[in-house]
A = this chain, B = another copy of it.
Amino acid sequence: MMRVLICGADGYIGWPLTLQRLSKGDSLVTIDDLSRRALARSLTPISSYADRHKEIERSDVQVIPCSLLACNYTLLQEVFTSNTFDVIVHLAEQPSAPYSMQGVEQSALTQTRNIESTLVLLHLMKTYCPEAHLVKIGTMGEYGTPDAPISEGDISVDFKGGSMEALFPRDPGSWYHLSKVFGTYNIRFACKVWGLRATDIMQGVLYGVRTPEITHESVINRFDYDQCFGTVINRFCAQAVNELPITPYGMGTQKRGFLELQDALQCLDIVMRNPPGAGEHRVINQFHEVHSINDLAQIVKQGAYSLGKRTTVENIRNPRVEQEEHVYAPEHQWLLNHGFKAKYSLREGVRNLLHDIAPYTARTDVSTITPDIHWR
């Protein structure tokens, strides 16, 4: 049994993680400000925040509707003085690269909110629970696509006869991805100066909506498919169940690492049960299979076919600025060394996902899938 604070508990990872931790008998405090609900409409008919709580109110769980901002610090101090935490999971960040690239307001909101939420948690931890374990979700997008393998954690950098331990170089591709890099730097600093301990998870593209605890529609997980909040896999799946062309951006030769939701929850459980030492900023890479976007499109197309849905793949002009032909060899040994065994291949996970969202096909607003947010 762990005492866990989940920040962003109403979100795509936060909600199934809440259900998982309750099923494991953890004591929970959950925080969310519902900002995602205001920005994106889920294809799956998720319950209201109030109705979700009714599903879990029988358990040892306290629900705090609140943003992780400095203006709420007094309220948050109350949460930290009236509870003891072993693990703090920070999922309460503003997501979406395209959202952040829309204009000055969205770029500023994404970066300032994400920085402030992490600073608030770090200060609370320093004061009230310096021994707790911060688990923070970054993104594989922090690294960009370098012409080299991507390490987990620090590497040795040599320059003119000297040598230093340094963060693996970051080359993020949007204001959003930059905000994740800034979080990494801030956490690293707090570990060094305040002796906090943190696991910083560079996560690949997550997909899937089912978990063992999601047994009926009243606890269904969200599924975003619009150009901003829908990942590439979700957009392709939404297109496929609607028998619309699947539209990779550009050449489609870009490669990414993918991970199914239940496998991700297995990873998070391993991370939570293996805290780093005091002062340690542990960076791990979390994904299962690497595929090109064209591969993914074919996998989605074939999965849809087995459901009786016929579609095509039509590459469109890339609205992003990104390398389309590149090396992609990220390491991900830490989780494997600590017992992670993926249960789902991308092919199998996509088939499950298509099956799970197909009943809601009529809810699709297909106009939101087409990209009109351009990087340039």
Q: Are A321 and B192 in contact (CB under 8 A)?
A: yes
B160 lies within 8 A of A149 (CB): yes
Chain B residue nearest to A164 (CB atoms) is B146
Contacts of A159 in B (CB 8 A): 148-149, 151, 155, 168
Interface-lining segment among A16-24, A104-112, A286-294, A349-357: A104-112
Most buried by B among A155, A161, A164: A164
Contacts A105-B73, A182-B182; is A147 near B162 (CB within 8 Å)? Answer: yes
In the assembled complex, which residues on chain B have CB atoms less than 8 Å from the CB atom of A173? 189
With both beta carbons as reference points, the residue of chain B lying nearest to A327 in the complex is identified as B162
Quickly give the copy total for this chain: 2
Bound form: Cα–Cα A172–B182 in Å: 12
User: Quick one: which of A61-87 are within 8 Å of B by CB?
Assistant: 69-70, 73
Inter-chain CA distance A112–B55, complex, in Å, is: 37
- Among the listed B116, B151, B157, B171, which residue makes an inter-chain contact with A169, where contact means beta carbons less than 8 Å apart? B157
B147 touches A194 (CB 8 A): no
CA distance A37 to B178 in the complex (A): 32
Which residue of B has the minimal Cβ distance to A192?
A: B321
Q: Does B108 contact A70, Cβ atoms closer than 8 Å? A: yes
* The one of B105, B112, B321 that contacts A112, using a Cβ cutoff of 8 Å: B112
Q: Which residues of B contact A157 (CB under 8 A)?
A: 148, 155, 157, 169
A186 within 8 A of B: yes
A interface list, Cβ under 8 A from B: 69-70, 73, 103-105, 107-109, 111-112, 115-116, 119-120, 123, 146-149, 151, 155, 157-164, 166-173, 175, 178, 181-182, 185-186, 189, 192-194, 321, 327, 329, 375-376
